[in-house]
Amino acid sequence: MHLKDAKFCVIDLETTGLNIKEDEIIAYACVPVQELRLLVNNAFYTLIKPEKYKIEAMKYHGISKNDLDKAPTFKDVADKILNTLEGIIVGHSVEFDYMFLSKYFKKTGIKLKKDIIDIVLIEKWLEEKSGNMEIDLTIEGMMTKYGIKDHYRHNALADAFFAAQIFQLETLKLSKCGIDSIKEVLKIVKHSKYTTYYLNERLF
Amino acid sequence: MIPPKEFIKKIKPFSFLSEHELNILISGLEVKLFQKNSIIFKKGDARKYVYILHSGLVGLFDNGIAVDYISKGEIFGIISIHDFPYLLNARALEDTVSYLIYSENFKEVFNKNTKFSYFFSTFINRRFRSFKKIASEKKLFEEATFVLDIEKIIYKKPVVCSPDTSIEAATIEMHKNAISSIVVVDDEMRPVGIFTDKDLRMVVIRGSKLNPVSKFMSSPVKTINTKTTIFEAFTKMIDHGFDHLVITKEDKIFGVITRKDIRIQLEPSSSIFTLFRKIVKAASVEELQTIFNNVKVSVAKIAISGSSFFDLTRMLCMINDAIIVKVIEIIEKEFSLNNFVWIHMGSLGRKEQVIATDQDNALVYGRKRLLAFADEVNKTLVKVGIPECPGNYMASNKKWNQDLPAWKNDFKKWFNNPVPDNARYLSIFLDMRPVYGDELIYKELIESIRKSVTDQAISALAYDAIHIEPPLGILGIRGLYKGVDLKTYGIYPIVNGVRVLAIDNGLLEITNTKERLEMLSSTGVISNEMCHDLLESYGFFQDLRLRHQSSAVLNQSAEDNLVSVKELRRADLLILKEAFKIVSSFQKFLMNKYNVKRVLSHLHTYR
């Protein structure tokens, strides 16, 4: 399938930490992409009430306990979230988000099976192709590179939006390299080795 | 908040929109990427979107000829919203990311919010669709918020009560709404007083909670209307020491604004705002000197950011007046003065002074001549940074420092014998505005002037407005490579022409060109259309001049009025030509009305 004809959902999570076994999701955001357009109006964002609130993680996500107390539980919004996960899941270090989501859906009896595209791996591939090895692959770094650096606020919805913009710009670069089908893009992603480096970079 | 909303909110005129209106635009918003050289829309395509450029470069073409270039923060595709197809071809000249707003949504907001739609229907945009990019940098933007109307920051419905409400009931109402004041209104919702926390103290000291609220309210109450700028409202509060101001719309209560509301709006930092407070508090000339220098720089930044001349001068005029009044106050202490009135003339009198400024002042005294005092004020103003008037139109000149009978006589003399010198005096002094002192003296002078006006002088003044022809040639604007003097060819013909119409129709106390025009149009002297066209071209000349002089201030080069082709954008060039055409047809109107003709060799020029 041509990239243009595919549906994507660019997602981002806020979590209480990096440990998939122990930590919890506290926010979910999704920006759908169709015909390579960002459908801002259909963007979705929700806070999710965790079982335990970790104070120390607050300095990264800035979400207060008070806000979370009022938020729905994952179970409450599981259907809604599932509805937004249309097409291929895209994101910055999205493997991590995907693992979290899979774990959560499993608990509600749903098996999540989706293709995923990590914009970091695409970027790495593009840069290595042009012989560049020293690259800043944090989301801030990539935003700066693509000229979409804004008054940056660490927030799942903003991050999902920026990731979607980066993805949009990456598709343009890919098409200039002659890559314009889903199959080829998924191949690139699969062949890239995933390292925890990016994961760590994300929160620390 | 989703990033596109934050981005859009910072762009004028989207900054005029309420949260709700912004949400309408955002609903259905898409972000699309256009590869270099791809077509965005074609002439004749059915309208679908209004575009806001996020990054990249877009060219608008008409039959292959570039009409305009659009860059970050600019809007295109607007003209299509009135059910017309697109009128131009749009092509991405670089890889471009654009926000797409459904034109239906755009139209909905456009029809609802007049301030927003006015921005699009002004001269520039109506004719040339090109769009000025307005400060997207945050700092500049904050400063620009000063010129927003006060109604933009009133979100709460006013809490009101009738005069016979008991203090107890009124206080309960205040407590329930968590507010520090309640507006007391009559049967027709017109404010008659305001009852605040402070007044409540007086009740505790010497009243009873069963008393009617009218017994302890502050009355009459100072009000301002919804179209006052935030800046004006704030200065009023500082001037009068108020914490609350009542906002009215058509004399009826609209809301209440507190100092805190304004601070929240303007903080964390805004230099102009702080500077104004400093002027009010300043105790020494040295302080004023530093402040004035900072004012110039801040104003230049705001001007560059694209604030309009009309908005900006309202604010600037208050700052200039405040500085001058402060200087007078400081110096007044050294002299024992009887009654007098300090007058501003020229552009300062018209409230149209931009950056490059000189002193134009005069003094009317009651009994004793005040030369030494005026001399000291003039000298001190120079120290502060306002240069002397090259023509010596200053209160320290004994010609312009006279008692009331002498001034009345001068005007009579000028009106009766309008030789070039006298006509020039008239055009300067008919723009006079009292700034400090005894306003009654000024009022008496105006009444005397009203009786002195002659037809002969009116023709002479009309001649002043028409004798310089705009530099329009077959090939466009003449002399544009060397530089065109905006003041001589654009600004003066309008100012002078509008003044003569105003004086001829007895509007002596209005000195501002825009206010004069609006009054002339509402009394039917000129058509609405002429008023609109003149305001648009006048605003355009002044905006251009402002921008030109602002860059001079920021680059620390000499300030002048010559604009050359290099600094003009393509769209400006087209508009400049249109604006000169409007001047030309205004002059024809004046020539017919006052039966004056242009002579080839004119003997006098306006300073």
Q: What is the mean pLDDT of residues A99-107?
A: 93
* Chain A nearest C-alpha distance from B97 (Å): 9
Tens digit of each residue's pLDDT (9 = 90 or more) over B9-40: 766 667 778 888 888 888 888 999 998 889 99
Residue A44 clears pLDDT 90, i.e. is over it? yes
State residue B459 phi and psi, 5-degree precision: -65, -40
Same domain, B90 and B36: yes
**Tally of residues, chain A:** 204
Q: Provide the pLDDT for residue B133.
A: 31
In a domain, B95, yes or no: yes
| Nearest neighbour of B30 by CB, restricted to A37, A161, A175 | A37
Same domain, B479 and B511: yes
In a domain, B144, yes or no: no
Strand, coil or helix: what is A202?
helix
- Give residue limits of the domains in chain A: 3-198
- What amino acid occupies position B207? G
Same domain, B10 and B113: yes
Q: Which domain holds residue B21?
A: 3-134
Angle at B184 between CA B180 and CA B190, to 5 degrees: 125
State the CATH number of the domain containing residue B260: 3.10.580.10
A157/B2 touch (CB, cutoff 8 Å), yes or no = yes
* Chain A nearest C-alpha distance from B246 (Å): 36
A151/B4 touch (CB, cutoff 8 Å), yes or no = no
Q: Provide the pLDDT for residue A25.
A: 92
User: Which of A41, A149, A152, A172 to probe the B interface (max B CBs under 10 A)?
Assistant: A41
In whole angstroms, give the CA distance from residue B344 to residue B347. 8
Residue A138: pLDDT band (50, 70, 90) is confident
Same domain, B469 and B448: no
Same domain, B380 and B473: no
Q: Provide the pLDDT for residue B248.
A: 92
From the candidate CATH numbers 3.40.50.80, 3.40.50.2300, 3.30.420.10, 3.50.50.60, the one assigned to the domain spanning A3-198: 3.30.420.10
| Nearest neighbour of A37 by CB, restricted to B2, B32, B138 | B32
Domain boundary among B215, B250, B266: B266
Tens digit of each residue's pLDDT (9 = 90 or more) over B116-167: 776 665 533 433 332 233 223 333 344 455 667 787 767 667 899 999 999 9
Summary mean pLDDT of chain B: 81
In whole angstroms, give the CA distance from residue B43 to residue A102. 49
Strand, coil or helix: what is B269?
coil
The count of domains in chain B is 4
B30/A39 touch (CB, cutoff 8 Å), yes or no = yes
* Chain A nearest C-alpha distance from B174 (Å): 28
In whole angstroms, give the CA distance from residue B339 to residue B441. 9
Same domain, B389 and B280: yes
Q: What is the mean pLDDT of residues B449-470?
A: 92
Strand, coil or helix: what is A140?
helix
In a domain, B457, yes or no: no
- What amino acid occupies position B184? V
Residue B444 clears pLDDT 60, i.e. is over it? yes
In whole angstroms, give the CA distance from residue A148 to residue A135. 17
Q: How far is CA B581 from the centre of its chain?
A: 24
Domain boundary among B244, B266, B288: B266
Other beta carbons within 10 Å of A35: 12
B33/A172 touch (CB, cutoff 8 Å), yes or no = yes
Q: Provide the pLDDT for residue A188.
A: 87
In whole angstroms, give the CA distance from residue B249 to residue B224. 9
Chain B positions in Cβ-Cβ contact with residue A144 (cut-off 8 Å): none
Map tokens 């092509």 to a residue.
B91
Domain boundary among B401, B422, B452: B452
State the CATH number of the domain containing residue B81: 2.60.120.10
Residue B571 clears pLDDT 80, i.e. is over it? no
Interface of B to A at Cβ within 8 Å reads 1-4, 6-7, 26-33, 35, 54-55, 95, 97, 100, 138
Strand, coil or helix: what is A13?
strand
Q: Provide the pLDDT for residue B112.
A: 81
Residue of B nearest to A146 (CA): B55
Residue B126, H or E segment: helix B123-128
Q: pTM score, two decimals?
A: 0.49
Q: Provide the pLDDT for residue B475.
A: 56
* Chain B nearest C-alpha distance from A104 (Å): 26
In a domain, B601, yes or no: no
Token pair recorded at residue B514 = 């825009």
* Chain B nearest C-alpha distance from A159 (Å): 9
Q: Provide the pLDDT for residue B607.
A: 36
Angle at B464 between CA B351 and CA B516, to 5 degrees: 35
Separation in Å, CA B29 to CA A155, B13, B39 = 20, 17, 20
Same domain, B222 and B286: no
